[in-house]
Amino acid sequence: MSETRHASLGISDEKVLEMYRWMLLARRVDERMWLLNRAGKIPFVISCQGQEAAQVGAALALDKDIDYLLPYYRDLGLVMPFGMTAKDLMLSAFAKAEDPNSGGRQMPGHFGKKASRIVTGSSPVTTQVPHAVGFALAAKMEKKQLVSFVTLGEGSSNQGDFHEGLNFAGVHKLPVITMVQNNKYAISVPQEKQLGCVNVSDRAQGYGMPGFTIDGNDPLAVYQTVKEARERALNGEGPTLIETVGYRLTPHSSDDDDMTYREKQEVEEARKKDGLLTFGAYLRETGVLSEELENQMEEEIKQIVNEATDYAEHAKDPEPESALLHVYAD
């Protein structure tokens, strides 16, 4: 039997199964949140569906014990392998006192968990880019062998913070990896009305760093590209801009009607390329994923999601007075 693609990249069968499991868990958590929202139990969902392959591929190429993560609001598939649990995410969705992200203060998708080096994001998009560059600057000044990894959508790549952050990183050769998850839409604005260039990665040349555009539905390609970018950063070769091209399979959020700006047929066509489907098919074809193993995975994940939902739904609400905490110094 000829060597599998993942084996030729030096990735074990165990690692690709781990990738698939994280992708599946992120999808099932996300799907449950939509059901809870439609049942009137949680107020808001902003989805990862269609982007899990890029997120998980990147997460597993990093070192979760030392690297810093500055995610954006769709990054379930990135924050979970880094240490955010299904329970943590459900506590955030239900806005409970125990929510490790913000104690129920922030909307879902504002990830933050200090113990896992997941740096809290703020509501204006792209503010995480200069912050990631700051972490990379600190690492360089303190001579620490780590990288900061920051993500955003292609819409956010048109903000000033993106330019300032990448320009500074390029000038000072900082160990920061910027991954733009191009899902084709900035809320309702299609890519062709956002960018004057063909690819987001074309901008890398202006910042003096390598830029790559890769298939966001292919976790192996993302894993390899991020792994190489990390190696360059640790060798003192500076930052990298990566663009993963995928598709947002859901409306922008639970408050959006995407049929006002795109056709149903376009979404259905994109579903055929969904990384969860195509990667699952690849693992079955190569004999790595059996029907029995997949069923077992689904059962385990269903139990995790059910337990997380039940726990969060019945957890304590925050005390109203707690809204005044962490505003002024005591």
Q: Quote the CA–CA distance of 232 and 234 in Å, as a whole number.
A: 6
**Domains of the chain by start residue, with CATH:** 5-313 (3.40.50.970)
Letter string b/e over residues 133-144, b meaning 16 or more CB atoms within 10 A of that residue's CB: bbbbbebbeeee
Per-residue model confidence as pLDDT tens digits over 144-167: 999 999 999 999 999 999 999 999
What pTM was computed for the model?
0.97
Taking 3-state DSSP, the helix, strand and coil percentages for the chain, each rounded to the nearest 5, stand at: 50, 10, 40
Candidates 28, 261, 262, 284; catalytic one: 261
φ, ψ of residue 306 to 5 degrees: the values are -60, -45
153: which strand partners? 181
Which pLDDT value is given to residue 2? 80
Residue 221 has pLDDT above 90, yes or no: yes
Which pLDDT value is given to residue 329? 87
282 is known as an active-site residue: no
Residue 169 has pLDDT above 90, yes or no: yes
C-beta separation of 21 from 56 below 8 A? no
Candidates 73, 117, 252, 282; catalytic one: 252
Per-residue model confidence as pLDDT tens digits over 222-274: 999 999 999 999 999 999 999 999 999 999 999 999 999 999 999 999 999 99
Sole residue written with tokens 């107020």: 43
Q: Quote the CA–CA distance of 248 and 264 in Å, as a whole number.
A: 13
Per-residue model confidence as pLDDT tens digits over 1-21: 589 999 999 999 999 999 999
Which pLDDT value is given to residue 326? 86
CA distances from 124 to 72, 113, 127 (A): 11, 19, 7
Residue 330 has pLDDT above 90, yes or no: no
Task: Indicate the pLDDT class of residue 286, thresholds 50, 70 and 90.
Answer: very high
261 is known as an active-site residue: yes
Mean predicted lDDT score pLDDT of the chain: 97
C-beta separation of 89 from 315 below 8 A? no
**Any residues with CB less than 8 A from the CB of 263 and at least 6 apart, and which?**
none
Residue 63 has pLDDT above 80, yes or no: yes
The number of helices, as runs of H, and strands, as runs of E, in the chain is 12, 7
252 is known as an active-site residue: yes
Which token pair is 69?
């993560």
Per-residue model confidence as pLDDT tens digits over 95-119: 999 999 999 999 999 999 999 999 9
SS3 (DSSP) at 146: coil
Candidates 32, 110, 117, 248; catalytic one: 248
Which pLDDT value is given to residue 1? 59
Which pLDDT value is given to residue 74? 98
**Any residues with CB less than 8 A from the CB of 281 and at least 6 apart, and which?**
none
- State the average pLDDT over residues 68-91: 98
Q: Quote the CA–CA distance of 126 and 130 in Å, as a whole number.
A: 8
Which pLDDT value is given to residue 67? 98
SS3 (DSSP) at 209: coil
